[in-house]
Amino acid sequence: MPRVQVFGLTKRFGAVTALKDVSLDIKDREYVSIIGPSGCGKTTLIKCIAGIISPDSGDILVNGHTIRNVPIQHRRIGYVFQEIALFPHMRIIENVSYGPRVQGQRERDAKALVSELLNLIKLSDRADSLPLELSGGAQQKVAVARALASGSALLLFDEPFGALDSKVRTDLRYEIRRMTTDLGLTVLHVTHDQEEAMSISDRVVVMKAGRIIEEGPPLQLYLRPKAIFTANFLGEANFLKGIVVQQTSTGAIVQIEDARLLTTDKAHKIGEEVIVAIRPELITVAEDQDDGNCVRGRVVEARFMGQAARYEVETFGGTKIHVEHPECLGELEIEPPQEVTLTVDPRHVMVYSLPEQGLEKELQLE
């Protein structure tokens, strides 16, 4: 199964640079998702790997061999689009067997392979159906089977579930992940759905303006992102300006307005201006005073969001902080304009150096 290495890939479209010296190493049988704002270059990257687009510079290696000048039909790469690109006039069995037939495989071998794949996606009983007779989720499974039938050990997914409704999309992504794992495939998956990327990937790659900002295991990127942009783009975070006032044996203390927050971060010096990031769902809100790692403020808005209650709290220094309280922890009888205490575990207080261009510029999607 393939290992894919991208070295210094650059691609320009006129005055627009879609990829800027991008390098990425995808291990054998690894499931990697790429996320980022629209126009960040994620689709351009996988189209370069597929051979649909030719990069201006850089190289792409599969199992140590360059495929830079290999024609698209000889790369043994399966590409699954957001648009369910099945042949509408062909039955399902004909769609799936299209690749083997074009490649000139013996009919007996092709038939056995297609039968195995239809069993794998649990659509053997619909082999004689036309695509429009199937649901959107079933059609997308057929598209995956067709990619596999061509002998692809590397799959490229370009927003493959974007055209499906929420429930179908959620079920299908887990089913596809199980299937690719069982088959031992290498997968590169482009998506705008952060939850999708986090839930099925071995590793997530975050892109912005043609560059890779950060990459790592989903949990690491969520709880301990190295970049402010990642903390903001992947999920949601409150950003507060502060200054390091003390170092401790376990981390540091950051002064934010009239409050002091303990953090386990040890990378910043006393007197340094910093940005503190805290995820809304990792904040505990209570009416009572607390001498712990906390900030006091006044509730200015409360909303029920289904699985959680969302509060907007304004600190006494004028900073707005968003808090999410899961309903599974019990209902809170807190309404505006009550004064509350916001408490956070020091492990969840993320600290970053103040960006040279300013926080607002750093958080921009372009």
Q: Which CATH architecture describes the domain 4-228?
A: 3-Layer(aba) Sandwich (3.40)
pLDDT (average), residues 318-337: 90
Q: What is the pLDDT of residues 111-126, one digit of tens each?
A: 888 888 888 888 899 9
- 349-363 pLDDT tens trace: 999 999 988 888 888
pTM of this structure: 0.89
Strands (E), 146-270: 154-158, 186-190, 203-208, 211-216, 238-247, 252-256, 259-263
Q: pLDDT tens, 254-283?
A: 999 989 999 999 999 999 999 999 999 999
Terminus-to-terminus CA distance in the chain, angstroms? 36
Q: Determine the pLDDT at residue 361.
A: 86
Residue 186 has what pLDDT?
95
Instruction: Give the residue from 95, 103, 110, 100 showing the smallest Cα distance to 144.
Output: 95
Mean pLDDT of 318-336: 89
Q: Which pLDDT score is estimated for 114?
A: 85
pLDDT in tens, 93-113: 989 988 887 777 777 777 888
* pLDDT(133) > 90: yes
Q: In the predicted model, is pLDDT for residue 19 greater than 70? A: yes
Q: Is the pLDDT of residue 9 over 70?
A: yes
Q: Which residue has the higher pLDDT, 109 or 169?
A: 169
- Per-residue pLDDT, 41: 96
Range(s) for CATH 2.40.50.140 in the chain?
236-353
What's the pLDDT at 117?
Answer: 86
The secondary structure of 88-143 as a DSSP string is: TTS-HHHHHTHHHHHTT--HHHHHHHHHHHHHHTT-GGGTTS-GGGS-HHHHHHHH
Residue 290 has pLDDT above 80, yes or no: no
**CB contact burial 139-177 (16+ within 10 A = b; e otherwise):** bbbbbbbbbbbbebbbbbbbbbbeebeeebbbebbeebb
Range 134-148 average pLDDT: 87
Q: How high is the mean pLDDT of the chain?
A: 91
CATH superfamily of 236-353: Nucleic acid-binding proteins (2.40.50.140)
CA distances from 327 to 85, 300, 341 (A): 42, 20, 18
pLDDT category at 171 given cuts 50, 70, 90 is confident
pLDDT at 152: 82
Q: Where do the CATH 3.40.50.300 domains begin and end in the chain?
A: 4-228
Q: Which range in 70-74, 91-95, 220-224 is most confidently predicted, on average pLDDT? A: 220-224
